[in-house]
Amino acid sequence: MTQKISLRGPISFLKKIDPVLRQIIEQVGPVQLERRHMHFLSLARAIIYQQLSGKAAEAIFIKLQRLYDGRSPEPEDILRTPDEELRSVGLSRQKMSYLKDLALKFSDGTLSQKSWDQMSDEEVIAHLIQVKGVGRWTAEMFLIFSLGRLDVLPVDDLGLRKAIQRAYHLPELPRAETIKKLAEPWSPYRTIATLYLWRSLQEETSL
């Protein structure tokens, strides 16, 4: 289940505030941001995809679903599945332990959508990194692609750093502090700026 977020206001704001972004927005066209409600699944996928190619990770995820008759597993499913079965789909022992920890924290209420709805972005990040295998970057991606938060700036994301370097003609990959300073005018819509900068990198690569 997803809920689309209207970006008309944020896009208009960014076009007025930053001429570089205005050009990117006009070249790239519309982007989308959605709130997704299958939060356990989103975080489980993020863990599975870590340090793997998209193709390899997707193959593991499909095999995982087959353990549950093709449906997406719930936390309780993961907790009652023997380690040997989880390993059989291609999960490393480390990732298996991460998934079990994630499932446990959802099951016992440590992680809760109701709690996140009342939290700031930084509070959600602090909440999520309690899970083994979930670092700040993974938490930021969850804020963007699952919770649909509008003002997330993943300063350590390599794609964002490359996109900013190209768009703003910087001599080297920008560091976190440089990105934060550059992005100050984009707030409270830094997520939307990030989406457009990512897309600009994809557009350039496809040429």
Instruction: Please list the active-site residues.
Output: 157
126: tokens are 């602090």
Is the separation of the CB atoms in 200 and 22 below 8 Å? no
145: tokens are 């692609």
75: tokens are 């936390």
Virtual CA dihedral for 35, 41, 43, 48, nearest 10 degrees?
-140
Is the backbone of residue 133 left (phi > 0), alpha (psi -120 to 50) or beta?
A: left
